[in-house]
Amino acid sequence: MLEIFNLQKELVKNASTSGYEGKIGRAIADLAKPFCDEMRIDALGNLICHIKGKGKRIMCAAHMDAIGFMARYIDENGFIYVNPLGGHYAYELINTRVCFEKVSGIFRLCKASENAGKTGKEITFNDIYIDIGARTKEGAEKLVSIGDTAIFEGETVMLGKNRIMTPYADDLSGCAMLLRAMQLCNSSPNDLYFVFTVQEELGCRGAKTAAFGIEPDIAIAVDVCPAGDCPSENDRHNDIALGGGPTIKIMDSSVFSSVGLNKLLKSVATAMNIKTQWEILTGGGTDTSEMLLTRDGVPATCISIPTRNLHMPVEIIDIRDVENGAQLLAATLRSKF
Amino acid sequence: MIKLLKDLCTLDGVPGYEKEVREYIAQAARPYANEIFTDALGSLFVFKSGQRTPTRPIMLCAHMDEVGFLVKSITEDGMLKIVASGGIDPRVLIGRKMQVGKSKIPGIISLKAIHLTTIEERKKAPELKTLYIDIGATDKESAEKLVRVGDYAVFDSEFASFGQNCIKGKALDDRIGCAVLLKLLECELAYDCWFVFTTGEEIGARGAMSSIHRLNPGCIGVVDSTTASDVPDNPAHLRSTAMREGAVISLIDSGAVYDHTLRQRITDAADRECVKWQYRTRIEGATDASAYVYGTGAKMFGLSTPVRYIHCANSVAYLPDIAAVQKIAALFIEEAGGMNA
């Protein structure tokens, strides 16, 4: 049986930034191989795994790309300026550890920007740099070239019995859920496509081309959503709690999920005695919207994992939510439509 | 090349009104085309066979449109209020000669004289909504005889060679790309290739979307023009590309991630042939490449000429950079074809 914590650990080892998903794609392909009839990688790099069946064609998608950084300029002292790949706030990154392929480094704030009194969102990617410990430009260039990508450096650790702190719960935990669901779905009356998509963090691009190619009857994304059970000066921004079960997306700023599909998920969850939470977000977006708007429209929804500290190297999730999400997804995929 | 660039940059083609440019390109391309047609959004498709046929089509594109304006309303005293079609900094408009509509009615954008302004007014850049084109009309009625609401307006700027191997003019973005594609059409090709001259790039890669949807290519090379930022008011770590440093190859921008395998093959080939190239290191901006998510997806290659003062009346480019773009565009066909062989 695939065990979520170890799976997450294994996936984080292979974390790859948006647009450069080759490594994570290969790692997931190795893990997924025993569970599907065939697999292929499309032009953008989406990994498409197929479990053949005669019923409805269902596409499930979790994105395998991770937010990260790309080197754009190395100054004469070997400090590296980067472009963000995906949604980052530059000010939150100060003193955060990252790693390029060959070397680790840390984000620092430029003295000039600090002296100018810049704080919060005034700080941009022009104000921060990565120190890899180089002394000169030439020294840095032996380890990092313009165009090289970096990811968060951080371990996946257990917090108590059920929770983990990890980089890239978004969305490697979603990938873990999808892999686990594949394992549980070894036979199904439906024609199942499990897609590990690329470039979600840059605007859900992989899901768009994958869905266009697959032409699904139904689509289900697996992603993370912000948990509301953290201290906040104002009211909680939502009621979603870690350990409260996987969430079923009703809406976010890019999509209104299929009501029928959500009803089905809820009834499957009730029948299996799985707790779920409804997810209503005013921001954000996932692969769901791109799949929903494919060709002449596809009923789509999303199962999410409640996550704290989204887009930070210390995301916290409850692994029971992942396992229960996989159970719910697999049971839904096995049902007759 | 200079003659072709001059012809192309002298034509007008704000988004949605690319007809002049399209007709010129169609005529120039026809002798070399195996197939040529225009789609519903106005993009021009030219197919040319090469020595081999790739398994999935390959496509090169350049956009025909340029940034410009549309007349929004005409004031009682015969001045034209305008909206921008594409990204234009209003600060570059002051004191410019303009031409309006198909009959190229001359006009001027300017400001009231310095004698009449306050110090406070002079500290602020004017907003586009406060600017207008003066076509010398006495009143609304006489202006309406020459111009209608919805007519387009462009910079009236002479194309010229100057300095050391430099050119200047309007619409270098992206008539340079159009010229590169036209020159390439004259050559023997390693693989069959679609040359697509797109519309509406400056307002969101619109022609590219329908083009890519139609052809569903495996590899796409976008030949565009990009911001050369080697200018004194921009510190080194904020520069994106530099003029005279060769063809610009894209890593990523806000519209697309460019395929690294394809890029590596092409830069290796360029290095072998000693073609000068540089990366585009900033992420801001997008090109026709953002349409790569249409169809079942394509491997993208982004190639540009570094152009100073882009989206202005007088943009500046360096001829050897354009020659490098030309060579790398040819390498794209070979390498993209090789990947889809």
**Is B241 among the domain residues?**
yes
Q: Domain A68-152 classified CATH 3.40.50.300?
A: no
Q: Where are the domains of chain A?
A: 4-66+155-334, 68-152
The residue out of B96, B127, B155 marking a domain boundary is B155
Mean pLDDT of chain B: 95
Q: How far is A12 from chain B (nearest CA, A)?
A: 22
pLDDT per residue as tens digits for the range A119-160? 999 999 999 999 999 999 999 999 999 999 999 999 999 999
CATH topology of domain A4-66+155-334: Aminopeptidase (3.40.630)
pLDDT per residue as tens digits for the range B28-59? 999 999 999 999 999 999 999 999 999 999 99
Q: What percent of chain A has pLDDT over 70?
A: 98
Q: How far apart are the first and last CA of chain A?
A: 28
CA distance B17 to A154: 53
Encode burial over A185-212: b for 16+ CB neighbours within 10 A, e otherwise.
beebebbbbbbbbbbbbbbbbbbbbbbb
Among the listed residues A200, A279, A290, A323, the single catalytic one is A200
**CATH number of the domain that B136 lies in?**
2.40.30.40
**Is B165 among the domain residues?**
no
Residue A230 has pLDDT above 90, yes or no: no
Q: How many C-beta atoms lie closer than 10 Å to residue A54's C-beta?
A: 8
Partner residue opposite B257 with nearest CB, options A19, A146, A209? A19
Q: How far is B23 from chain A (nearest CA, A)?
A: 33
pLDDT per residue as tens digits for the range B125-179? 889 999 999 999 999 999 999 999 999 999 999 999 999 999 999 999 999 999 9
- Is A76 marked active-site? no
* Range of weakest confidence among A5-14, A122-131, A178-187, A235-244: A235-244
**Is B237 among the domain residues?**
yes
**Which of the residues B284, B292, B293 would you substitute to probe the A interface, choosing the one with the greatest number of A C-beta atoms within 10 Å?**
B293
**Is B164 among the domain residues?**
no
Phi, psi torsion values for A120, nearest 5 degrees: 50, -135
> Do residues B235 and B246 both lie within one domain?
yes
Phi, psi torsion values for A306, nearest 5 degrees: -60, 130
Check whether the bond before A131 is cis (ω within 30° of 0): no
A111, A168 Cβ separation under 8 angstroms: no
Strand, helix or coil for residue A91: helix
pLDDT per residue as tens digits for the range B272-308? 999 999 999 888 889 999 998 888 899 999 999 999 9
Q: CB distance A213–B283 less than 8 Å?
A: no
A62, A178 Cβ separation under 8 angstroms: yes
Question: Average pLDDT in the A69-90 region?
Answer: 96
pLDDT per residue as tens digits for the range A49-62? 999 999 999 999 99
Q: Same fold for the domain at A4-66+155-334 and the one at A68-152? A: no
Phi, psi torsion values for A38, nearest 5 degrees: -155, 160
* Range of weakest confidence among A224-238, B62-76, B140-154, B258-272: A224-238
Question: Average pLDDT in the B62-83 region?
Answer: 96
Full residue range of the structural domain in which residue B84 is found:
68-155
**Which of the residues A17, A40, A72 would you substitute to probe the B interface, choosing the one with the greatest number of B C-beta atoms within 10 Å?**
A72
Per-residue pLDDT band at B186 (split at 50, 70, 90): very high
pLDDT per residue as tens digits for the range A80-109? 999 999 999 999 999 999 999 999 999 999
> Do residues B196 and B281 both lie within one domain?
yes
Q: CB distance A43–B299 less than 8 Å?
A: yes
> Do residues B177 and B146 both lie within one domain?
no
> Do residues B249 and B119 both lie within one domain?
no
Residue B240 has pLDDT above 90, yes or no: no
Check whether the bond before B7 is cis (ω within 30° of 0): no
Q: Per the structure, how many domains does chain B have?
A: 2
Strand partners, B69: B84, B153
pLDDT of residue A236: 62
Strand partners, B194: B47, B59
